[in-house]
Structure 1
Amino acid sequence: MDVKSAFLNGELNEEVYLEQLEGFHRGKVDNTLYVKLHQDQFLILQVYVDDFMFCGSNTSLASEFANLLKTIFEMSLLGTLRYFLGLQIHQTSKGIFISQQKYATKLLTKLNMTECKSVSTPLCPNSKLSLKCTTESVPSTLYRSIIASLLYLTTSRPDIMYSVGLVARFQSNPRLSHLQAAKRILRYVKGTISYGLHYIFSSTLPIIAFLDADWGGSLPDRKSTSGYCYLLGSNLVSWLSKKQDTVSLSISKAEYIAASQAGSQLLWIHTTFANLGLQFSGPPKLYCDNQSAIAISKNPTLHWKSKHIDIKYHFLRDKVQKGLIDITYLPTENQLADIMTKPLLPQRFSTLRALLRVVPRPF
């Protein structure tokens, strides 16, 4: 629904009071999320400025809510969600598909790249970008515009999350090699323009997370890159690729720092879904492919392997000890977050992309 909010552009000379909708309770971790639970029925409302989405356990409950709002506010009901903030949403009995094909097409047209040659991966497998490039400078305004557009595209394209994050590190003084890397991402997008996230229906909904770290992979400062993938059942609900704040002295410490950050976000997601009325049989699982990092998280004693790690990263150890997070070993070949930390060969990249359900529109 879209609320007509022209009054926000005027000056108010009186006090305005807001009252929460009757029967709703605000989410504990998201102040724009509202939930109404009544017996075995529920209604969920997500607000974004003057737009909002809502869904219910049955059609009559949603219709009743919409009619109630229309009697109080001047607003238009846009029907079944199909387009929201640049996201195209297709809903069928086979699942939900979210993409940004229209947005990506406009971006390629804007940059005169609709006829460019596509590539199979967003980065060359041996790509090594650095601040000390000898190539000529390029206009920073153009470069930043491309980066900003690509960052928004990662809303539905986790397969380009790492590559976009990498080229975004060079916005202060972009060089031709950096621009070429950014345009390679666009060439990859051109070849996968119809790709998006496919969500399937499932009766089992455990919350699990995959984490990985590329030790010292950032050439300018030798900092590590953390990668995270969070799934509800088998469906990807959140992802991130981020350079760590400090330089790690070993791969174990880089993985442990990544695990601590992943654990924090994992608990936030777990609490959010619990607010929606979902019930879980056990603590959320955190999958890590480094045995040493797992050992540090389960050892209640601070020893020489962890004495150089900032105390804030021992958040994970505390939650593991309390049984709020279950951290488990996973072989590297099964680590989904690998796609968030480094350039990969085409076969490995396409395998992980498919496992994340980033696919062409299936229906």
Structure 2
Amino acid sequence: ISYCENCHCPCCLRGWPLYQLDVNNAFLHGYIDEEVYIKPPPGYLKAQPGQVCKLKRSLYGLRQASRQWNKELNKFLISLNFQQSKQDYSLFTRTHDAEFLVILVYVDDILITGTSKAQIEEVKVALDTAFTIKDLGLLAYFLGIEIHRTDNGIFLSQRKYIQDILTDAGLEECTPAPAPLSCGLKLSIANGVLLDDPDVYRRLVGRLLYLGITRPDLSYCEQHLGQFVHSPRVLHLKAALHVLKYLKGTIDNGLWYTANSNTELSAYSDADWSACQYNSRSLSAYAVFLGNNLVSWKTKKQRSVSKSSAEAEYRSMSATASELVWIRGLLGDLQVHISLPVKLLCDNTSAEHLAKNPMFDDKTKHLKRDMHYVREQVEDSFIETAHVSGALQLADLLTKPLASSRHQFLSAKLGLISKVQLEGGV
């Protein structure tokens, strides 16, 4: 889940204004807790031979700088009666005079929203007095993410970021591909010629990982291509470039968060059994929705080998349950009420029965830890398992490369739209 996703859904559903602030020379506001000495700066003539300077304040370039700035900002926000979230330490909330404010911090970039514009302005003034800030107005561009807001919702995209990647790769005029990876593609760690310059591949995969903030349709290929960064080969680079060709055709796509939605939390859980052809580990994937809006997704290889597809699906359900518990706590900090039980959709009936069956047997005793956790959530009425057909399993997009028609269908179901659709009215 991204920080922007954590914040945008409540803002979108409730119509709160969202402002962006930037702190000037943030690291210089931190104090040093330990003794740090530096050589006298060039041009300072009063220093005697052998003398050094003792730092009292933080400087850019110090290892302690970012931490000390974070401590200083946290202390200041708490002095304004903000409470730091235990779910996400970059999130601060405050209830004052029946008004609710939210602050989200990324180093020296700050997002602020809430129910009272007057209190928001008061906090801006207080921050400017303490640190000096730039008020960038209503949020439009944040950490490479473009934000377009309408009366109907919020649209998040990374068009400029994608364009920069295509330009650097020399693929501005390439022929678009209909899907990120060819259907059924399984790359190898051993086949093919090693790249002369592996840093080219590593840099490209790293940029694709950041692009995943607004593009859940790339979740599987990011996980798959990320396995080969230690020893990339020519075939791996070709596959990564194929992803760029797909991005060329979907450069205007982004996540749409509709304002006309409820706050019902639900999740899709899926697994690809023995997906890895070398160690036979399975892939887990989940997609979590708040109403109609996708707020969290993930694709990850499981830590141990599953002996059956039911076991693989059940381990994926356990990971999804953990994410739901965390999201519930985060939404609680944002004063978003969640009705229980949360629906957990899976397309494997055996895994569903394991979640509901209170008995253990020899075939499932090695699953005891995961089973205890999932069943506890079911027994506490936090989670309710439900069956979904394979054709409507939205998390299927996150576990394997699909045919272009199905890939496009599931992408739309996850909330990916193009800017053309947005301008035409969603």
Q: More deviation in 217-226 or 154-163?
A: 217-226
Could you say which residue in structure 1 is the equivalent of 2:23?
Answer: 3
Contact persistence 2:83–2:93 (CA under 8 A)? yes
2:56 paired with 1:13:
yes
Could you say which residue in structure 1 is the equivalent of 2:411?
Answer: 353
Could you say which residue in structure 1 is the equivalent of 2:217?
Answer: 159
Percentage of matched positions with identical amino acids: 37
Number of residues paired by the alignment?
Answer: 362
TM-score between the two structures when normalised by the length of structure 1 = 0.95
Could you say which residue in structure 2 is the equivalent of 1:258?
Answer: 316
2:89 paired with 1:31:
yes
Q: CA deviation at 1:65?
A: 2.2
TM-score between the two structures when normalised by the length of structure 2 = 0.81
Q: CA deviation at 1:359?
A: 1.1
Query: Where does structure 1 lack aligned partners over 5 or more consecutive residues?
Result: none
Work out the CA distance in 1 between the residues paired with 2:265 and 2:326: 11
Work out the CA distance in 2 between the residues paired with 1:21 and 1:50: 18
Q: Deviations over 1:326-358 (max 9, x none)?
A: 222111111110000011111111110001111
Amino acid at match of 1:241: T
Query: Where does structure 2 lack aligned partners over 5 or more consecutive residues?
Result: 1-20, 37-54, 58-67
Q: CA deviation at 1:13?
A: 3.0
Work out the CA distance in 1 between the residues paired with 2:320 and 2:399: 14
3-state DSSP class of the match of 1:108?
helix
Work out the CA distance in 2 between the residues paired with 1:358 and 1:39: 39
Contact persistence 2:220–2:398 (CA under 8 A)? yes
Contact persistence 2:93–2:100 (CA under 8 A)? yes
Q: CA deviation at 1:150?
A: 0.5
Work out the CA distance in 2 between the residues paired with 1:58 and 1:202: 22
Q: CA deviation at 1:38?
A: 3.6
2:356 paired with 1:283:
no
Q: More deviation in 123-132 or 6-15?
A: 6-15
Could you say which residue in structure 1 is the equivalent of 2:125?
Answer: 67
State the Cα RMSD in Å.
1.9
Q: CA deviation at 1:322?
A: 1.6
Contact persistence 1:210–1:335 (CA under 8 A)? yes
Contact persistence 2:267–2:286 (CA under 8 A)? yes
Work out the CA distance in 2 between the residues paired with 1:106 and 1:162: 22
Could you say which residue in structure 2 is the equivalent of 1:117?
Answer: 175
Instruction: Spell out the pairing of 1:79-94 with structure 2 (5 A cutoff).
Output: 79-94=137-152
2:66 paired with 1:46:
no
Are the structure 2 counterparts of residues 282 and 6 from structure 1 closer, same or farther at C-alpha, using a change threshold of 3 Å?
closer
Q: CA deviation at 1:22?
A: 2.5
Work out the CA distance in 2 between the residues paired with 1:37 and 1:291: 44
Contact persistence 1:164–1:182 (CA under 8 A)? no
Which structure has the larger Rg over C-alpha atoms? 2
Q: CA deviation at 1:112?
A: 0.9
Work out the CA distance in 1 between the residues paired with 2:387 and 2:97: 40
Amino acid at match of 1:340: L
Work out the CA distance in 2 between the residues paired with 1:41 and 1:300: 45
Work out the CA distance in 2 between the residues paired with 1:147 and 1:310: 36
Q: CA deviation at 1:320?
A: 1.3
Which of 188, 204, 216 is equivalent to 2:262? 204
